[in-house]
Structure 1
Amino acid sequence: MNGFLVVNKPKGVTSHDVVKKVKRAINAKKVGHTGTLDPFATGVLLLCINEATSLARFFESDVKEYVAVMKLGEETDTYDLEGRITAKNDVSPVREDDIVSVLKGFEGSVLQVPPIFSALKKNGIPLYKFARQGIDIEREPRTVNIYEVEVMEASIPYVKFRVVCSKGTYIRSMCHDAGKKLGCGAHLVSLERIRNGRFSLGDSLDIESVSMDKIISLEEMFKELPAVFVDEADMRYVMNGMNPERAKISCSLYKDGTMIKYIFLDRIIALGHFDGDRFKWVRIFKSSLN
């Protein structure tokens, strides 16, 4: 079965570990995820099952929401609790109003330098490999969008806050940068992803609870997409990857780039969209007819 699972990643395992466990649990051919969580982090992880793995890229840009806790007064080389402490500073001058002002100041479109301990690549090599060799590679700042920041609790030196942000935002970097602005240093000590796109913690399953009957079908996931219904003859054109316009299958209403689903016998057999004047198949689900 093709589809999706939403799991609550536990602390202490990698996102790849979760993928492997789920793959074994449901005996799937393929499982992938739409956005890595660090091993110490917990929360919502959207998994793509079987042929749906080819659609992961369409969910990677979904808005994420986190609850984080940072510790003031200490900097680490990884910007989180798993790193080596590189500096300690007095936090007594820091006031809650200062913390709120600094964190709220990140709202908007900001340039963020990713941590050296990250999987981002420089010249084809992951940054963390340079870091492990003690090489401080220059990292290019990247534009990220931070839509909302809310300080939930400030029990100095610990600060709990909620952040809604775009793909590519490093909460570790946000904590590190906040510590610099406050003049005392800081690092991330806990992180929970409470929302990934339309899915929240309430939608998430414990890994031990996953099963085939919990898979979100393609039909459910894409129920809002415009549909083109095809008969058996047109289904064969679609399954062979023929351009639907040449096959005279209606799709000209959606030349604005909207994703279109093709339905045969109540099953999604393909997804496609226009890129300019050219139609492109996103995925043809051969196994939908099984």
Structure 2
Amino acid sequence: MGRRRRPRGRAVNGILLLDKPVGISSNDALQRVKHLFHAQKAGHTGSLDPLASGLLPLCFGIATRLSAFLLDADKHYEVRVRLGETTTTGDAEGEVLERRPVEGIGREQIEAVLPQFTGVISQVPPMYSAIKHKGERLYKLAREGIEAERKPREITIHAMRLGDIEGEEFDLYVHCSKGTYVRTLAEDIGEALGCGAHVVALRRSGVGPYAGHPMVSMEQIEQAAAEGNAALDALLLPVDTALGDWPAVHLNADASYYLKMGQPVVVPRAPTEGWVRLYEEPDRFIGVGQVQDDGRIAPKRLLTGSG
């Protein structure tokens, strides 16, 4: 048998809250940061358009095993919307399709239509999205001038708040479920107002437990890389912060042993339902569990072993 190839780079474990700059894709940002950390393994937790800036959590090493939970988490956005124009992409990067007058539309009119887009609503995904249709990404079809049928999807807008209004543009703060297309939301609000709209600026300010959490810029990472690995690793958050809003369950030695063997265990005073963070003595995070109908906690994703 051949010799196993040793992984390239450092064994880095943790989560980096990157403030992604405008103008680069999420994958380009990930590869840049991974290179600066000289990390063996890293992944991001849901793409941001090149037009968008803001929070892009990057998972290193064993943290990549929790990336799906951040992908499924609620998101917070700050968006600037321009009324009176629709574009091919729903944002400022597209060509203008139509211009309509916006006279008489102010704060009162905008606030009056927002409630119809709050709660559980149906959205038709935009053509300029990464969803696949018959094996092809929609945005690739859109660039070829092909319009594909898209099925509406249910998403949840937990809250929206209208911010500043400047001429034909206004700021909107959105707290939403995964799968929400903010460009589509802006377009739909514009149609409800009778004038059309598109996104001119978009920033993600929160993902799951990281709502309003300080972010790290690309410049800060480059500076830390010049100082060495210790400075880089100081930018990382512990892996379990990805689930910081979940209840914690601490296991004794026996319970930890059987749970690692794949068996559900009884834990006194544990939550009676839902997902939990699992810790073995003294306070070592070992993964994710779920409370079963009989009250026992079953292992769902354990982080023991290498990244």
Q: Which residue of 2 aligns with 1:284?
A: 303
Q: Which residue of 1 aligns with 2:122?
A: 111
1:271 equivalent to 2:288? Answer: yes
Shift of 1:34: 1.8
Q: Which residue of 1 aligns with 2:195?
A: 184
Shift of 1:146: 0.9
Map 1:254-265; keep pairs closer than 5 Å.
256-264=273-281
Q: Following the alignment from structure 2 to structure 1, what is the Cα–Cα distance between the partners of residues 242 and 88?
A: 40
Question: Residue 303 of structure 2 aligns to which amino acid in structure 1?
Answer: I
1:130 equivalent to 2:141? Answer: yes
Among 215, 237, 259, which residue is 2:236 paired with?
215
Q: Following the alignment from structure 1 to structure 2, what is the Cα–Cα distance between the partners of residues 48 and 275?
A: 28
Distance 1:137 1:65, change over 3 A: same
Question: Residue 37 of structure 1 aligns to which amino acid in structure 2?
Answer: L
Q: Following the alignment from structure 1 to structure 2, what is the Cα–Cα distance between the partners of residues 270 and 115?
A: 36
Query: Per the alignment, in what secondary structure is the counterpart of residue 306 of structure 2?
Result: helix
Q: Following the alignment from structure 2 to structure 1, what is the Cα–Cα distance between the partners of residues 35 and 282?
A: 30
The 10-residue stretch of structure 1 (195-204 or 164-173) with the greater mean CA deviation from structure 2: 195-204
Map 1:186-201; keep pairs closer than 5 Å.
186-201=197-212
Q: Which residue of 1 aligns with 2:3?
A: none
Contact kept in structure 2, 1:44 and 1:193, CA below 8 Å? yes
Runs of 5+ consecutive residues of structure 1 not aligned to the other structure: none
Shift of 1:106: 1.0
Identity of aligned residues (%): 34
Q: Following the alignment from structure 1 to structure 2, what is the Cα–Cα distance between the partners of residues 132 and 105?
A: 32
Shift of 1:131: 0.7
Deviations 1:9-42 (Å, cap 9, x if unpaired)? 1111111112112211222212112222111111
Distance 1:172 1:219, change over 3 A: closer
Q: Following the alignment from structure 1 to structure 2, what is the Cα–Cα distance between the partners of residues 154 and 219?
A: 39
Runs of 5+ consecutive residues of structure 2 not aligned to the other structure: 1-11, 222-231
1:98 equivalent to 2:98? Answer: no
In the alignment of these two chains, the number of paired residues is 282
Contact kept in structure 1, 2:251 and 2:267, CA below 8 Å? no
Contact kept in structure 1, 2:75 and 2:208, CA below 8 Å? yes
Q: Following the alignment from structure 1 to structure 2, what is the Cα–Cα distance between the partners of residues 257 and 97?
A: 41
Distance 1:222 1:174, change over 3 A: closer
For normalisation by structure 2, the TM-score amounts to 0.82
Query: Per the alignment, in what secondary structure is the counterpart of residue 198 of structure 1?
Result: helix
Distance 1:162 1:266, change over 3 A: closer
Map 1:70-81; keep pairs closer than 5 Å.
70-81=81-92
Q: Following the alignment from structure 2 to structure 1, what is the Cα–Cα distance between the partners of residues 114 and 240?
A: 40
Q: Which residue of 2 aligns with 1:226?
A: 248
Shift of 1:116: 0.5
Q: Which residue of 2 aligns with 1:58?
A: 69
Shift of 1:260: 4.1
The 10-residue stretch of structure 1 (135-144 or 57-66) with the greater mean CA deviation from structure 2: 57-66
Distance 1:284 1:237, change over 3 A: farther
Q: Following the alignment from structure 2 to structure 1, what is the Cα–Cα distance between the partners of residues 35 and 236?
A: 14
Q: Following the alignment from structure 2 to structure 1, what is the Cα–Cα distance between the partners of residues 287 and 105?
A: 56
RMSD: 2.6
Q: Which residue of 2 aligns with 1:20?
A: 31
Q: Following the alignment from structure 2 to structure 1, what is the Cα–Cα distance between the partners of residues 285 and 248?
A: 12
Q: Which residue of 1 aligns with 2:43?
A: 32
Query: Per the alignment, in what secondary structure is the counterpart of residue 94 of structure 1?
Result: coil
For normalisation by structure 1, the TM-score amounts to 0.86
Q: Following the alignment from structure 1 to structure 2, what is the Cα–Cα distance between the partners of residues 176 and 4?
A: 34
Question: Residue 97 of structure 1 aligns to which amino acid in structure 2?
Answer: E
Q: Following the alignment from structure 1 to structure 2, what is the Cα–Cα distance between the partners of residues 202 and 57?
A: 20
Q: Following the alignment from structure 1 to structure 2, what is the Cα–Cα distance between the partners of residues 235 and 97?
A: 57
The 10-residue stretch of structure 1 (120-129 or 69-78) with the greater mean CA deviation from structure 2: 120-129
